[in-house]
Amino acid sequence: MKTRNKFFFILGIIIIIAGIGIIIYPIATHIYSEHAQKVLMEEAKEEILKNILEANNQPTEAPTPTPNITDTPADPDGDPTGDITDAPEDTQTAADDGSDVLGADIGEEEPIETAEQTLDSSRLAGQKCIGIITIDSINLVYAVVEGVKDSNIGVAIGHFPDSVAIGAEGNCALAGHNGGHYSRYFKDIKKLKKGDSVILTDLNGYEYEYNVTESFICEPTDLFVVEDLGIKGKFLTMVTCTNGGTQRYIVRAKCTTEPTLMKGVK
């Protein structure tokens, strides 16, 4: 009898410990994620301030951005400022042989990332940081790095190399995972509504505000979504996966304001 009571006592303790673990795990994961984000953003800001300092030490003055913003109406056949919809009107497929894939490394599965990497004080080591993306409406702040391979988007938001730079005339395209074990990445961009603000900060410390104009779902082979839109203006296209990674979710925005310097930059 005593042996049986001892067994149930130990079993009860194990169940209690397991229950506590189940409760604590998501809290601990959230803390890890918040810490990783803080470290990542500090690195990104340091990169920006370092770039500005180096530019100020050059014999010639660093170039300033030229907004060149117009309110030219968009082409009705390719209007990136229309209402938010669930599917694109343009069904053109850019890939002829099916070998080209829009954000091939984007997935809803776990990004290549470890806890040690998440807590590493130099997560951006080896990455080319080009700026910061901030979306207050979904509480998103990330460093933006050059490239959309898994080694890039496994730690930050990636910039399609063939798209224009932050704040430049044309289509600036970014890619991010649809969530991961330690970070949300672009998981919540599906919650964005028309008019929501997206701030991109470049390496010179200039902040460009883009406002969401539309969202839609397309196929992984629809490369046209990250190419030039053929319309005058400064546009932003954000890409993540959806429907189990079989399709791509697109959010497009347009810059209609003058760039401003980020806080702390003179």
**Residue 29 has which token pair?**
């994961």
pLDDT, position 230: 94
pTM above 0.75, yes or no: no
CA distances from 85 to 51, 137, 138, 190 (A): 39, 19, 19, 11
CA distances from 173 to 196, 226, 265 (A): 17, 6, 26
* d(C-alpha 205, C-alpha 184), whole Å: 25
Model pLDDT for residues 95-147, shown as the tens digit of each residue: 333 336 787 777 654 444 433 333 333 556 677 888 899 999 998 888 899 99
Cα dihedral sign, 231-237-242-246: positive
> With respect to CATH, is domain 29-261 assigned 2.40.260.10?
yes
CA distances from 96 to 92, 93, 100, 101, 193 (A): 11, 8, 8, 11, 33
Q: Residue ranges of the domains in the chain?
A: 29-261
**Residue 206 has which token pair?**
């200039």
- Of 22-36, 172-186, 221-235, 241-255, the range with the lowest mean pLDDT is 22-36
Cα dihedral sign, 218-222-228-230: negative
Burial 201-228 (b: 16+ CB within 10 A, else e): bbbbbbbbbbbbbbbbbbbbbbbbbbbe
